[in-house]
Amino acid sequence: MAKTVFVSDKTLELTRKEYDLLLYLAYNKNRVISKNAIAEHLSGDEAEIFTNYDFIYSHMKNLKKKLQLAGCKEYIRSVYGMGYKFDV
C-alpha cells in the first residue's frame, strides 16, 4: 500500500515517522494529544525509556515545515504544557 500525502496537487515527501505522526494527529483531529501518547505511538514500548521528548519536537518541527512549504494551512498547533492538536 502506497503512503502518499498530497497538499493541493503537490506530493509531499515525508519520512516514515513524519507520515505516522501526521496520520495519528489526523485520526485524533480536534483533540489534544499528549507528548507521551505521541511517543508511545511512534516508538511503542521503547517510549518508557525516553527521558525527554526531543525526538518528538524534531519530527513535529520537520513535519510542520514540510507542510508549510507545500502551501498547507497550519493545522498542527502546540498546546503549551499538554501536547499537540490537529485543528480542522
Domain boundaries, the chain: 14-86
Q: Quick check: helix, strand or coil at residue 5? A: strand
- Amino acid letter for position 3: K
- What is the full DSSP assignment across 13-77? ---HHHHHHHHHHHHTTTSEEEHHHHHHHHHGGGGGG-SS-HHHHHHHHHHHHHHHHTT----EE
User: What is the model's pLDDT at position 53?
Assistant: 80
Please give the model's pTM, rounded to 2 decimal places.
Answer: 0.86
| CATH number assigned to the domain covering 14-86 | 1.10.10.10
Q: In this predicted model, what pLDDT tens digit does every residue of 54-88 receive, in sequence order?
A: 889 999 999 999 999 999 889 999 999 899 999 98
